[in-house]
């Protein structure tokens, strides 16, 4: 029996049906099997792998080579989930670099969609990629690749000006052709309002329960991250007997909108 691969059309249909989209980061074949069996819809080969797998202090050192390698590890065995690959730091700083990076992530890595961070600065690139048939996911709010500029991992859009900027960027990304949007660390009210306003599906991380779906870093939700996990995450292993059970609980709680709860939400 063949299994239908999830695409941007599937995600748009899920949004229309108000069926929450479930996403987790995934960097290898073993977890790809496990997450697909649990019913995860979007496997994000995030450049968080720099911190989670490589022990780097940020995502800045992650190269295109690393991203292509891990994307291929996932897509080689994946059957149903959309494989979403991060474009690494500065790989989309020029149109030429962006086209080359997207080509490698899709043709060699097997990604079904690529993700890049930012608003106004990336609009032309998003337009260019989509015109050439590359499905693109935007990423607004906290932009981990800009951590050196921001000065830390902080919530964004907390004042009127910041919220208006995120809203304008989100609408512009949709207009430029983005098929999906990740909103990271923004107040729940802003994220819910944007999700209602946009036709593009919105996946939140640290953005409350009013988005069209949720994503977490796999190692955070399995309690594998040393030190303190972000407040918007939860250790699903705490109440589970196995990794499969923990992931199944996450999938069920995202689908029922029980996760994120008030403890993980910034109002
Ligand atoms: O790289 C990553 O894991 C991400 C998530 C934080 C959304 O971009």
Please write the tens of the pLDDT for every residue from 19-69.
Answer: 999 999 999 999 999 999 999 999 999 999 999 999 999 999 999 999 999
Among protein residues, the one whose CA lies closest to atom 1 of ligand 1: 46
pLDDT of residue 2: 62
Residues of the chain with pLDDT under 50: 1
User: How much is the pLDDT for 228?
Assistant: 82
Contact criterion met (CB below 8 Å) for 101 and 63: no
Please tell me the distance from the alpha carbon of residue 169 to that of residue 38, in angstroms, as a whole number: 33
What tokens were used for 1?
């029996």
Evaluate: CB of 203 within 6 angstroms of ligand 1.
no
Q: Is the CB of 46 under 6 A from ligand 1?
A: yes
Is the CB of 145 within 6 Å of ligand 1?
no
Interval between CA 4 and ligand 1 midpoint (Å)? 25
Q: How many residues does the chain have?
A: 267
Q: Is there an atom of ligand 1 within 6 Å of 188 CB?
A: no
Structure tokens at 23: 């996403």
Cβ–ligand 1 distance for 182 under 6 Å, the answer yes
3-state secondary structure the chain: CCCCCCCHHHHHHHHHCCCCEEEEECCCHHHHHHHHHHCCCEEEECCCHHHHCCCCCCCCCCCHHHHHHHHHHHHCCCCCCEEEEECCCCCCCCHHHHHHHHHHHHHHCCCCEEECCCCHHHHHHHHHHHHCCCCEEEEEECCHHHHHHHCCCCCCCCCHHHHHHHHHHHHHHHHHCCCEEEEECCCHHHHHHHHHHCCCCEEEECCCCCCCEEEECHHHHCCCCCCCCCCCCCCHHHHCCCHHHHHHHHHHHHHCCCCCCHHHCCC
| CB-based contact 191:214 (threshold 8 Å) | no
Structure tokens at 249: 């609980």
Residue 186 to residues 58, 81, 88, 181, Cα–Cα distance (Å) = 20, 26, 22, 13
Cα 33 to Cα 28: distance, rounded to the nearest angstrom: 9
Catalytic residue among 36, 117, 184, 253: 184
- What pLDDT, on a 0 to 100 scale, did the predictor assign at position 152? 87
pTM of the model: 0.97
Q: Quick one: which atom of ligand 1 is closest to the CA of 203? A: 7
Atom of ligand 1 nearest to the CA of 48: 1
Please tell me the residue having the least CA distance from ligand 1 atom 5.
46
Give the long-range contacts of residues 56-64, CB within 8 A, separation 24 or more: 58/144, 58/147, 58/148, 59/86, 59/88, 59/89, 59/144, 59/145, 59/147, 60/89, 60/145, 60/147, 60/148, 61/89, 62/86, 62/88, 62/89, 63/88, 64/88, 64/91, 64/101, 64/104, 64/105
Residue 202 CA to ligand 1 centre (angstroms): 14
Q: Check if the beta carbon of residue 145 is closer than 8 Å to that of residue 121.
A: no
């Amino acid at each position: 029996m063949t299994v239908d691969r999830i695409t941007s059309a599937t995600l748009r249909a899920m949004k229309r049906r108000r069926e929450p989209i479930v996403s987790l980061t995934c960097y290898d074949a073993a977890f790809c099997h496990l997450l697909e069996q649990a019913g995860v819809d979007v496997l994000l080969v995030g450049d968080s792998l720099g911190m989670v797998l490589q022990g780097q202090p940020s995502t800045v050192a992650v190269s295109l080579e690393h991203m292509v390698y891990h994307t291929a590890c996932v897509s080689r065995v994946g059957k149903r989930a959309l494989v979403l690959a991060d474009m690494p730091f500065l790989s989309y700083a020029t149109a030429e670099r962006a086209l080359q990076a997207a080509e490698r992530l899709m043709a060699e890595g097997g990604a079904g969609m690529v993700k890049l961070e930012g608003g106004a600065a990336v609009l032309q690139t998003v337009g260019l990629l989509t015109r050439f048939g590359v499905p693109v996911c935007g990423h607004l709010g906290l932009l981990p690749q800009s951590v050196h500029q921001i000065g830390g991992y902080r919530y964004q859009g907390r004042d009127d000006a910041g919220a208006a900027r995120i809203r304008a960027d989100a609408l512009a990304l949709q207009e430029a052709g983005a098929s999906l949007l990740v909103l990271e660390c923004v107040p729940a009210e802003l994220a819910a309002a944007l999700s209602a306003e946009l036709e593009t599906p919105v996946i939140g991380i640290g953005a409350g329960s009013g988005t069209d779906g949720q994503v977490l870093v796999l190692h955070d939700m399995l309690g594998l991250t040393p030190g303190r996990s972000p407040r918007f995450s939860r250790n699903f292993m705490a109440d589970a007997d196995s990794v499969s059970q923990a992931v199944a609980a996450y999938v069920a709680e995202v689908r029922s909108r029980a996760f994120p709860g008030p403890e993980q939400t910034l109002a």
